[in-house]
Every structure is written in structure tokens, then in C-alpha cells.
A and B are shown apart, each in its own frame.
Chain A
């Protein structure tokens, strides 16, 4: 039975696309069939972050409008055989996404894959609503920062009211993914504490992704971070989150400050 996930946040720039790519790759690396779907029509970027930008022929809108078959628009990842991407259109506008069209594509994807991961556009409008509409699970990506937490709260409200599951009296499963967490700043009291964010949003924690230079390196290279540097702290955190999605009960690793050599030598002097 396929699971449909939406990666959403309300606010832009918090790490939705990075997280979609990393979680999709992490799940596919365990041998499951995964498709990542870009819903950001007009401003697609998942293809670029996944390193598939040169291979896009058809996109989600082409499939919805019947110009291409789904199998023709899916791009198979060159590194992981069980990972595919369905790109968004770069040229059409978001009105080309119809509710019926999206429903039909999602139904087809459910047949083909174990996991369907929808990368939502920022905002709370049509595109974001369509991205979350068919989801069984939602991953709410949040930075430990006031505006991000506020927008996440808004999105959580929408997940509980406008999705198909909610309309049918069910409940969409929500998970908090805290990204760009800086343990050093948190230790100095300069950043919202994890407990505070959890208390305010009160949804279960899926993982904490530490702020890391490896994330930028991964997008530079066009590879999900779990592939480009699998042993790095963010990659481990994503891999852990993926295992939790699969139902494993794992304690969430809280990133700790990793002091550099100089900082350790001069400990207490600065």
C-alpha cells in the first residue's frame, strides 16, 4: 500500500526541496520504490537539487493535460534505481494544475510506488493546497525561528481542514522536521529551543537536521545529501528520519556542538 507524503512549511526557504530530495533518496536507498513530485509549477527546483535538470522532457502539467503518459514524464535517478522524479513545469502557470488532473496522477503514482513524496510550493494557496490534498502523511519543515514556526502553525491548521483525509473524517499524520538547527547558537540561547518549538506546534518530532555546509555542497553537486556525503550529520539525520517514517521506533538524535580544533585548544579563553 503506497504512502503519500507532502513536504510542506508555508514559509519559503526553510528546506522543503532539500528535505524532499534527501528523504526520498534515503527511503529509496533501503530498496523501496520512491517518487518525488515537484508541485512548484512555474518555479521548479527539485529537478536541479536532484541533478536531473538536463533530463527533463515532460512534466506534471504535460501528464495532466494528456500530452504525455506518466511513464514518459518520470525520470529515473541515475544513482539509485528505485528513485524517480516527476518534475513540475517551468513555463506554465499554476492554474494548469487541475484538481481532477492531480487526483488522477496521484492515483497512478500510488499504483507504481511505495512512497509518493510531494514537494509543496511555499505559501498557502492553490499549489500548496493541491500538493497536500491527497497526502496520508505531512512533513512540516520548520526552522527554529519565529516566522517559520508561525507559518508552520498555519499550515498544520490547513492540513486538518482542507485535505481529502480531513474531509472524510480521517486525520492526516503530521510530523515535524526541524531543519537548520544550530546547536552552538541554541546552547548560547540565541535560537528557539527544540522543546519550545515542539510545545508550540505540538506535533510529533520526525527529526532534527543540523545546519551544515554539506547541504549547500549537495545542492551545488545536484545530489541529495544522503548520497553526496552519507556520513555527514545532516545525512545521518535524514536517514534516521526516513527509518522513523518506515515505522521504526528510534530516539531522535539531538545535534550537539562539534567544536573545531582551535575552539577546543582555546576552550574558555574566548
Chain B
């Protein structure tokens, strides 16, 4: 069946290599103990917020932290919703 399937171009892209790549990236993080990034991220988030709070009132709930782990580079995205700033002296 699978022989015929591949003859007729069904499922030409195999899924096993995708599985291997995904596991390699994931396990590379978990084995080195980097799997527990949340402590670092917690600190980063707290400190970044602290700096921003010196200047603007930020709602703790309006902060989103996003992560996309890659093979060599990971992307950390911290999204802070900043309330509308009014010129000082106005209510």
C-alpha cells in the first residue's frame, strides 16, 4: 500500500525528518537545563517592568511574554500595553 502510495505521489513528504528536527531542538534545550527558562523570563519581565514603571503606569495584566525557540537563535518578545499618555496638568 505504501509502495503504491509513493508511486502515485501520495504523502511524498515524509514526516519522520520533521519529527527528528523538532526533537533535536527541544531536547537540546531540556538537556542543558535551559528547559526551565521561566525563572529567567520571570526576572527579565519583572526588571523590564520596573524600569518602565518609573515612567508610566503599567497594568501587570497587560504584559505578554512570547517565545519562539529556534535551533541557534530564540526570539523573546515582551509586549507591554501602554496606556494613553495625557499631557501633564490635564485630568
B-binding residues in A (CB < 8 A):
48, 51, 53-59, 62, 67-69, 71-72, 90-91, 213, 216-217, 219-222, 260-262
Contacts and interface: CB of A to CB of B under 8 A. Distances in A.
Given A57-B37, A221-B19, 10 more contacts: A54-B68, A54-B70, A55-B68, A57-B38, A57-B66, A58-B38, A90-B36, A213-B2, A216-B15, A260-B4
B16 interface: yes
Contacts of B36: 90-91
Interface in B22-75: 22, 25-26, 30, 35-38, 41-42, 60-61, 63-70
B85 interface: no
A219 to B, nearest CB: 7
Contact of B22 (A53, A62, A90, A262): A53
5 contacts: A54-B26, A58-B41, A68-B38, A213-B2, A222-B18
A54 B18 CA distance: 14
B63 A221 contact: no
B26 A71 contact: no
Q: For chain A, what secondary structure do more than half of its interface residues adopt (helix, strand, loop), or is it mixed?
A: helix
A56 B65 CA distance: 10
- Chain B CB within 10 Å, residue with most, of A68, A216, A262: A68
Nearest to A59: B38
Contact of B4 (A48, A216, A261): A261
A67 B38 contact: yes
Nearest to A76: B66
